[in-house]
Amino acid sequence: MKIKINNKIFKTRYNEQDKIIIMLDNDLDRLFFKKWKDKSNGSIKKEDYVEDVDFIKVTERGVLKNCFPLINMNEDYVELIYDSYKVIN
**CA 73 to CA 43: how far, in whole Å?**
22
Range of the domain at 21: 2-87
The domain tally of the chain equals 1
Question: What pLDDT sits at residue 34?
Answer: 93
Digit-coded pLDDT (tens) for 49-78: 888 999 998 889 999 999 999 999 999 999
pTM of the model: 0.84
User: Chain-wide mean pLDDT for the chain?
Assistant: 91
DSSP code per residue over 5-54: ETTEEEEEEE-TTS-EEEE--SHHHHHHHHHHHHTTTT--SGGGT-EEEE
Q: How many Cβ atoms from other residues are within 10 Å of residue 24's Cβ?
A: 21
